[in-house]
Amino acid sequence: MDILCASVRNDLQNNDTPTAVSKIKELLEDQKNIPLNIAITGETGAGKSTFINAFRGLTDGDEGAAPTGVVETTLEVTPYPHPNYPKITLWDFPGFGTTKFPADEYLKRVEFEKFDFFIIISADRFKENDVKLAQEIQKMKKKFYFVRSKIDNNIHANERMKKYSKETTLTQIRENCVQGLKEQGVESPQVFLVSSFEPHLYDFSLLQKTLDKELPEHQRDALLFATSSISLEIINKKKAAFQSRIKYYAALSAAAGGAPIPLLYATIDLSMMAAVVTEYVNVFGLDKPSLERLGANTGVPYSDLCDVMKSSLAKQKIDKGQIMKVLTSFAQTTVLQATGEAAKWIPVFGIAAGMSLSFCTTYTALNYFLDTLAEDALKVYERALSVNK
């Protein structure tokens, strides 16, 4: 980042605005296009396809969803790109250990080396084939994680017991899985209990947190943005990641120019700002399809989720006109000001005096949009979770 800022400052000071703009755009595009290939494997019927859909924020029947069923539906290694971040791909592997895909042949057919990490899924105890697979992955020095799926079925079945305890049931299942893997020679196995139909519950967010900690730094934001907003921690991390990029968008807007905003005396790139705010809405899961899926999964009506949101941006199409309307409203209420936080970046980027107001306006506006939408995401999450408390 320091090298880029110095390079952009040098270009602007030499009146080479096109080169400065090109460098900033290249950085932002590179951040959006970091490839990540995640292998999802396990025995037939483990729930791999359903997990892939849940991870990408989709449900059965959605466009691009992995087909699911009671019989083997995956016959070849099949890629499923994330709907908003197509460079992030979850690969659905055929179930192994069957007559169609015996374990030894399976290992030869799959190009394991091209995947960044592996998630091994089982709907029951992890078996010998799961361990064989983990050992082969370990030989390649790749990361792997055990996911015990369909945990909601176990919880609902145990609710009929007289002395039922959800926490006790989860602890017993986890300890049973870990002990079974250790007995088969797996050292310090990580096991996550998930329900693909209720990703906001159990260990889905813990799995994301673990991946965030163990992935290389350049892949963390990519995975973070592609993950559903299923915990307060994930929402706050998304906000922080977006926050770190605002200075670049502000510099881009100041250098590239755009439409004048009444009463602000600043020129703003409204198209760029609309695209950024749209990304905020989609990544926080505040778009209509995401809210409808969340409502279906949690039992909270879509209208109730909308009611807790403060911003109108998530409830309608975001375009230049809508952004202009909000910015003009800010000007009338003197909300937008050249804050000290924005102003400190002006000398770093070498922003000329004539561009400084546009920089500060864009910087402050994007921070406002981000704060508002992140707050809405927290409220939506809390409202959805309230049913399960």
**pLDDT of the residue at 97:** 60
Among 129-133, 296-300, 339-343, 379-383, the range with the most confident prediction by mean pLDDT is: 379-383
Q: Is the pLDDT of residue 260 over 70?
A: no
Query: Top-level CATH class of 35-228?
Result: alpha beta
What is the C-alpha to C-alpha distance for residues 96 and 74, in angstroms, rounded to an integer?
11
How do residues 16-51 score in pLDDT, each as one tens digit?
677 777 777 777 787 778 899 999 988 878 889 889
| All structural domains of the chain with their residue ranges | 2-31+237-386, 35-228
Report the predicted TM-score, pTM, of the whole model to 2 decimal places. 0.81
Residue 97 in 3-state DSSP? coil
What is the C-alpha to C-alpha distance for residues 232 and 238, in angstroms, rounded to an integer?
10
The alpha-helical segments, DSSP class H, found in the chain are: 2-13, 17-32, 48-55, 103-109, 128-139, 151-158, 166-183, 204-214, 217-226, 232-243, 246-256, 270-283, 288-298, 302-307, 320-332, 340-343, 346-349, 353-386
Strand 78-81, strand 143-148: pairing:
unpaired
What is the C-alpha to C-alpha distance for residues 98 and 86, in angstroms, rounded to an integer?
31
How do residues 332-373 score in pLDDT, each as one tens digit?
554 455 556 776 676 666 676 667 777 888 888 899 899 999
How do residues 222-235 score in pLDDT, each as one tens digit?
888 888 877 888 89
What is the C-alpha to C-alpha distance for residues 76 and 93, in angstroms, rounded to an integer?
7
* 8 Å CB contact between 314 and 281: yes
Amino acid at 300: V
- For the ranges 34-43, 279-288, 315-324, 347-356, the lowest mean pLDDT is seen at 347-356
